[in-house]
Amino acid sequence: NPENEQHRLGSGLQGEVKRVLERQEAWQQALVTRVATLGRQLQGAREEARAAGQRLATQAVVLCSCQGQLRQAEAENARLQLQLKKLKDEYVLRLQHCARQAVEHADGAGQAPATTALRTFLEATLEDIRAAHRSREQQLARAARSYHKRLVDLSRRHEELLVAYRAPGNPQAIFDIASLDLEPLPVPLVTDFSHREDQHGGPGALLSSPKKRPGGASQGGTSEPQGLDAASWAQIHQKLRDFSRSTQAELERERAQLLVRATMAEEQLSELQEYVDQHLGRYKHEILRLRKLAGAGDPWKVGAVPPAKPQHPRTGSH
């Protein structure tokens, strides 16, 4: 029966549409659930980012406070080291004076056992001072090596910057060792160098007592590293000066070459501009003359090749 067949087909189509609608509703519900989940995750991520920003701001405040405390501690450390240096100088002078008086008293008394014991005590004291000086020399040598490494790194960075930012122009300054933008030395390192310079004529004078003592030969041993350090520093400064001067000379030569090339390019540009202006003027006059002749109806007076479309003036007259 056609009606039954049509009814059966309609029922099948309705069932198929219903299943499609149910599937679409399920997909839509899944998408809504997924969007809600992503929204919650996004909200949580925003809250975490906000909390992280707050923690970062708190840590920045703490860092600023710690940096201020560090600067105060460095200033206090510098003050205490200067005070310690002054006290050291004072006690070195006292020790030197006492040692000389003790040596003079022992030599004047003439008692052999007491003189021997006093000499032994003074030699042990001087040996302790020498050991302290050797330790100080090693510390200063390490500081000098680290400072030399910093200078080498700074020179390398300087050269890289010159290569990266090399451009024509007037150099604003001459690079020299005195004008290099060095970072400030740490406070203990500065006081170490001043301490070493002050110690150059310090307790070593104990070795040069009125009577030449057996331990006096070690004075030269303690003064040799200082001479070597001074020579190495002079060599480092000289190398840096030579490097800065050679770099400046190279930049000046390149600047002069670029100026010459720029001047030649400007001259060529002006000549080309003048040439173009002249020929443009000639072409304009020639075009005007041709238009006048073409308007007069006698284009062959020009003495050149006739135009590609000579019909335009005639069609215009018609």
Q: What's the pLDDT band for 127 if we cut at 50, 70, 90?
A: confident
Q: In the prediction, which pLDDT does 210 show?
A: 41
Chain segment 240-262, per-residue pLDDT in tens = 777 777 777 777 777 777 777 77
Q: Which residue has the higher pLDDT, 80 or 250?
A: 80
Mean pLDDT in the chain? 68
Cα–Cα distance between 274 and 231 in angstroms, integer?
A: 64
The continuous run of DSSP H or E covering 40 comes out as helix 2-109
- Tokens 């001067």 locate to 245
Task: Write the CB contacts of 170 (distance below 8 Å, at least 6 apart in sequence).
Answer: 255
Cα–Cα distance between 194 and 78 in angstroms, integer?
A: 12
Chain segment 264-294, per-residue pLDDT in tens = 777 777 777 777 777 777 777 777 877 777 7
Q: Are 210 and 105 in contact (CB under 8 A)?
A: no
Over 50: is that where the pLDDT of 40 sits?
yes
CA nearest to 197, candidates 151, 246, 150, 230: 230
Ramachandran region, residue 47 (left: φ > 0; alpha: ψ -120 to 50; beta: rest) = alpha
Task: Write the CB contacts of 150 (distance below 8 Å, at least 6 apart in sequence).
Answer: 183
Mean pLDDT (whole number) for 187-197: 44
Q: Are 81 and 187 in contact (CB under 8 A)?
A: yes
Chain segment 137-174, per-residue pLDDT in tens = 777 677 777 767 877 777 777 777 666 665 444 444 43
Q: Which two tokens stand for residue 250?
A: 């190279």
